Amino acid sequence: MSANTTPVQLPAGRETVTVKLINPVNFGPAILKRFMGPDVPGLETFKDSPSFSFLLEHPSGRKLVFDLGIRKDYMNHAPKIADYLPTTNYTIDVSKNVVDILEEGGVSPSEIEGVIWSHWHWDHIGDPSSFPPTTNLIVGPGFKKAMLPGFPANPDSPLLESDYAGRELVEMDCTGEQSLTIGGFQAYDYFGDGSFYLLDSPGHAIGHLCGLARTTSSPDTFVLLGGDVCHYAGILRPSVHLPVPETITPHPCNPFGTGSLCPGHAWEELQKSRGREATDTLFDMTFGGDIPLATRTVGKLQELDCLDNVLVIIAHDSTVRDRAPHFPESLNAWKEKGLGERLKWAFFRDLEVYWNLFPLPLVSLPKTQMPYLGRHFQPNMSAFGVANKDLDYDVLIIGAGLSGLYSLHRIRQLGLRVKVLEAGEAEGGTWFWNRYPGARFDSESYSYIFSFSQELLDEWDWTEHFSPQPETLKYIQYFTKKFRLKKDIQFNTRVKSAHFQTPSNSWLVTDEEGRQISSRYIITAMGILNQPTLPVIEGVGDFKGQAWHTARWPADHSALEGKRVGIIGTGATAIQTIQEIYKICGTLTVFQRTPNWTAPLRNTKITAEEMADIRRRYPTIFQQCLESYSCFIHVTDNRKTTDLSREELFAHWEELFQQPGFAKVLSVSTDVATDREANKLYSEFHANKIRSRINDPVLAEKLIPKNHGFGTRRVPLESGYYEAFNQPHVKLVDLHETPIERITEKGVKTSDQEHEFDVLIYATGFDAVTGSFGAVDFQGIGGQKLKDTWSGGIQTYLGLTVMDFPNMFMIMGPHQMFGNIPRSIEYAVDWVADFIEYARDNDVRFIQPTQEKMDGWYKHVERLGEGLLANEVDSWMTGVNKNLAAKQKRSLTRYNGPAPGYRKECDAVKERNYSDFVLG
């Protein structure tokens, strides 16, 4: 929202230049108080800052580069700088010199007519000698007099003579023919056609220049290349011309979510606590050649910054690095793409610690309802809580896996009284319970991470492309600690019943110990794969050796060393377990009822360099996930298998097969999932891969699935699974040939023999999706049992709500989008939090969907599943678990369509102000 009090007239012009952002460097940590003040508690450093360059391409073919960042061989700077750098304690990560980046992008250095130095500081000047002598060096007013000569002629100079030797050194003259005034700046029309101006912007360093590039005409838009006019967006914003808006969307700390930040009151409090006004900038600058002059320059810039057709980019703005397109893409469509709005207040993400300290002001309560909050206010009764004063909590969450933890964070941000009840003794959910050797995800680690917090993204380094369970659990613990979630979690508390109460429109929740808690809302976050199931085989319990389910793995793995081990099951869990434990067992016998398709995971370590690159690519990664069918980074191939010749097809499949992760499952032609012939062909491709890895051809055939095609069950990915079966001490028992008759005291009795073991492992899966619900006695209006509501088929609206169970929201409930699950969790939690926020703001105390909406949703989900071969196969995804009497037949359990379609449906409900629901 612009409140420009002194509108600046920008010069008219028809010509534009193409502006491309290049970031060759990241360095830090920067200690804030060196550069700006007064300080904000909790915001002491910037971990790593970029230093931008820009390529400017004029339609005539002329090209300029604005700034060069840090040179790769920075220790070859002039001695004055080379000696100074170690004293900064910076880690300096220069991927390449700008000249190399340009060349790789097809721009020859000989095409560059000039390099502009915004100023002479070491982190902007790069290495001009890497350009040919035909490239001029362009500097600002006063530079030559103050800065020449460079080293070695002047031993104390921060510059090198070689920076400018042999090329024309052009000092900009703002008083000549092509000069003009833009706002308060003296300017120079570089190409003489209004496409690009240099602005004299003194103060930070002698001869400091900004650039103003016209990026579109009619209507005009501009990118202002700020250099170091100031070091941080918070030294420029807000201002009297550009106050902090009431709502910032998307939330700066969660740029990929649907939520907003309403900083008003919190912002005022923060400024007040530091002796500042709401329209004062966050910081004053404390670093620069002439600070009063530089401050006046910033004042002039503020008059341009408030214009919504000017995008100001300061050289070290990490939010631009993380959220704007980089070379070779152009920035020119920035306005059309909404980049201006996304970036202007993005620096507020750096105050994340502050927003967390101060949860209440984040909510968009009408100002009149907003209680006054002191600096250290901790809410114990929210404004909404006043309406719930007879209840223990506003919101109760069941489960402390990813779903429950993120729900807690979001609901807390609403300033509501919230508690998590968790059966386990610690947080982590799936990654707390499943500790078997080899447990890891097959989602790419960096797509399985929460995207809502830039700080969290910045701070967390993955060490493997597909993280193992211990590391994932550590990540969840780190997240829990960072957001101080534990204080609102009650561990060792298994919910046994939840009964809706009328007329209070609340839930009464009872745990195993009989303890009761009341709340307006409940959010179930109990996991889709959380209730382990043992096989229905006579004698389970008779075995006298050690036995356990994979989801209850004992802490001490040594029990397997050199032992005779049996494992029942060949699903995803068994595959991961077998390929690991066969290395330590004396003998390993695998009892296989149904072989599963599996293919190589191709996991590798992530180097520090790769991690830095991943971090820079996070926006792209999340965008890819957002657009993909099932929230993975892998893109669907919309061609049919018949569109390609056999040769092309097999070459394409081979290429996918060699890639890591789910490419071989998700990036094949979509008809593999729907067309029997296509699927048969692809299955045969994989069957041959298996044959090529198993020494014994008879054994190979046993390991190849025959009753379902590739991808029709959840395909687990493996690392050496088949090779395990080539070992003499590993044996496969095909239960179709010799079925299990019973478990005995000594082991497993099949139709032909008794297999004796020291340890017996059940990798027999879960009562998936609805199992956690079945374990709790949910009773809705009039004592209606959820079990009964779902006995004839699951009914939900959006997979998030159920009629007769008001004020209950399900995260990862049945009929909801799963896919790469954290992406779906973030969406579902944001959606629920937004709904509760709406209820709070509109004094709604009763929410439930109608039967009509549930019926419509069922039909919608069913229709999406038509033609999918996966729905013709028994698996947990089609609701089958042969060990459970109630799950012998297939049912509609999960959303069958694409994730973007799911989100579209839910977004539309929100846009209709939730009028699909009965609200009271």
Question: Which parts of this chain interact with ligand FAD (CB under 6 A)?
Answer: 398-404, 421-424, 429-430, 432, 434, 439, 441-443, 494-495, 525-527, 529-530, 573, 772, 775-776, 812, 820-821, 825
- Determine contact, residues 40/120, Cβ cutoff 8 Å: no
Size of the site for ligand NAP (CB under 6 A): 27
DSSP track, 610-662: HHHHHHHHHHHHHHHHHHSTTSSSPPPB-S-GGGS-HHHHHHHHHHHHHSSTT
Nearer to ligand FAD, 363 or 495 (CB): 495
Nearer to ligand NAP, 596 or 789 (CB): 596
Residue 429 binding target from ligand NAP, ligand FAD, none, CB below 5 to 8 Å by type: ligand FAD
Q: How far is the CB of 572 from ligand NAP (least distance, A)?
A: 4
Nearer to ligand FAD, 527 or 780 (CB): 527
Q: Which DSSP category does 160 fall into?
A: B
Residue 201 binding target from ligand FAD, ligand NAP, none, CB below 5 to 8 Å by type: none
Q: How far is the CB of 514 from ligand FAD (least distance, A)?
A: 14
Give dist(CA 509, CA 919) in Å, integer.
22
Residue 421 binding target from ligand FAD, ligand NAP, none, CB below 5 to 8 Å by type: ligand FAD
Nearer to ligand FAD, 421 or 759 (CB): 421
Give dist(CA 290, CA 67) in Å, integer.
21
| 393 CB-near residues (< 8 Å, 6+ apart) | 416, 417, 418, 419, 517, 518, 519, 520
Give dist(CA 910, CA 386) in Å, integer.
25
DSSP track, 476-528: HHHHHHHTT-GGGEE-S--EEEEEEETTTTEEEEEETT--EEEEEEEEE---S
**Candidate residues 202, 765, 771, 799; the one interacting with ligand NAP per rule CB under 6 A:** 765
User: Which residue from 501, 772, 485, 451 is spatially nearest to 614, judged by alpha carbons?
Assistant: 451
Residue 568 binding target from ligand FAD, ligand NAP, none, CB below 5 to 8 Å by type: ligand NAP
Give dist(CA 413, CA 356) in Å, integer.
7
Instruction: Specify the stretch interacting with ligand NAP by CB under 6 A; choose among 209-217, 638-646, 764-772, 775-783.
Output: 764-772
Residue 571 binding target from ligand FAD, ligand NAP, none, CB below 5 to 8 Å by type: ligand NAP
Residue 865 binding target from ligand FAD, ligand NAP, none, CB below 5 to 8 Å by type: none
C-alpha distances in angstroms, 192 versus 66, 155, 639? 18, 39, 49
Decide: is 441 part of the binding site for ligand NAP (CB under 6 A): yes
Nearer to ligand NAP, 342 or 435 (CB): 435
Give dist(CA 783, CA 795) in Å, integer.
17
Give dist(CA 346, CA 500) in Å, integer.
42
Nearer to ligand FAD, 201 or 453 (CB): 453
Nearer to ligand NAP, 245 or 765 (CB): 765
Nearer to ligand FAD, 16 or 579 (CB): 579
Residue 594: CB atoms within 10 Å: 18
**Candidate residues 252, 385, 571, 799; the one interacting with ligand NAP per rule CB under 6 A:** 571
Nearer to ligand FAD, 443 or 712 (CB): 443
Site for ligand NAP in 866-885 (CB under 6 A): 876, 882-883
**Candidate residues 10, 574, 665, 832; the one interacting with ligand NAP per rule CB under 6 A:** 574
Q: How far is the CB of 512 from ligand FAD (least distance, A)?
A: 8
Nearer to ligand NAP, 574 or 909 (CB): 574
Q: How far is the CB of 404 from ligand FAD (least distance, A)?
A: 6
User: Which residue from 378, 381, 379 is spatially nearest to 389, judged by alpha carbons?
Assistant: 381
Cα-Cα end-to-end distance for the chain: 34
Residue 776 binding target from ligand FAD, ligand NAP, none, CB below 5 to 8 Å by type: ligand FAD
- Output the six-digit token pair for 187: 């300017």
Residue type at 599 in one-letter notation: A
Q: Which residues of 2-21 are buried (b: 16+ CB within 10 A; e: fewer)?
A: eebeeebebeebeebbbbbb
Q: How far is the CB of 608 from ligand NAP (least distance, A)?
A: 26
What is residue 597's three-state secondary structure?
A: coil
Nearer to ligand FAD, 189 or 422 (CB): 422
**Taking each helix axis from N to C terminus, what angle separates 676-693 and 646-658, rounded to the nearest 10 degrees?**
50
Instruction: Specify the stretch interacting with ligand NAP by CB under 6 A; choose among 132-140, 512-520, 572-580, 696-704.
Output: 572-580
Decide: is 743 part of the binding site for ligand NAP (CB under 6 A): no
Nearer to ligand FAD, 522 or 760 (CB): 522
**Candidate residues 129, 281, 576, 630; the one interacting with ligand NAP per rule CB under 6 A:** 576
- Output the six-digit token pair for 139: 């500097």
Bridge partners, residue 21, by sequence: 54
Instruction: Specify the stretch interacting with ligand NAP by CB under 6 A; choose among 282-290, 533-541, 719-727, 824-832.
Output: 533-541
CB-side exposure of 459: number of CA atoms within 13 Å?
Answer: 15
Nearer to ligand NAP, 326 or 894 (CB): 894
Cis ω for the linkage preceding 292 (within 30 of 0):
no
Residue 820 binding target from ligand FAD, ligand NAP, none, CB below 5 to 8 Å by type: ligand FAD
Q: How far is the CB of 629 from ligand NAP (least distance, A)?
A: 16
Residue 400 binding target from ligand FAD, ligand NAP, none, CB below 5 to 8 Å by type: ligand FAD
- Determine contact, residues 50/25, Cβ cutoff 8 Å: yes
Give dist(CA 623, CA 144) in Å, integer.
46
Bridge partners, residue 511, by sequence: 495
Q: Which residues of 524-546 are buried (b: 16+ CB within 10 A; e: fewer)?
A: bbbbbbbbbbebebeebeebebe
- Determine contact, residues 442/466, Cβ cutoff 8 Å: yes
Decide: is 535 part of the binding site for ligand NAP (CB under 6 A): yes
Residue 812 binding target from ligand FAD, ligand NAP, none, CB below 5 to 8 Å by type: ligand FAD
Geometric angle at alpha carbon 909, from 908 and 913, rounded to 5°: 110
Nearer to ligand NAP, 343 or 763 (CB): 763
Question: Taking CB under 6 A as the rule, which mask of x and - marks residues 701-740 in contact with ligand NAP?
Answer: -------------x-x------------------x-----
Nearer to ligand NAP, 224 or 631 (CB): 631
User: Which residue from 808, 906, 840 is spatially nearest to 526, judged by alpha carbons?
Assistant: 808
Instruction: Specify the stretch interacting with ligand NAP by CB under 6 A; choose among 14-22, 171-179, 568-576, 676-684.
Output: 568-576
Q: How far is the CB of 430 from ligand FAD (least distance, A)?
A: 4
Q: How far is the CB of 334 from ligand NAP (least distance, A)?
A: 39
Q: How far is the CB of 880 from ligand NAP (least distance, A)?
A: 8
Instruction: Specify the stretch interacting with ligand NAP by CB under 6 A; choose among 338-346, 588-596, 614-622, 649-657.
Output: 588-596
| 516-524 and 506-511 beta bridge pairing | antiparallel
Residue nearest to ligand NAP (CB): 571
Give dist(CA 581, CA 577) in Å, integer.
6
Give dist(CA 367, CA 268) in Å, integer.
12
| 393-398 and 418-421 beta bridge pairing | parallel
Nearer to ligand FAD, 10 or 457 (CB): 457
**Candidate residues 573, 587, 603, 712; the one interacting with ligand NAP per rule CB under 6 A:** 573
The residues that touch ligand NAP, with contacts defined as CB under 6 A, are: 441-442, 529, 535-537, 568-574, 576, 591, 593-594, 714, 716, 735, 763-766, 876, 882-883
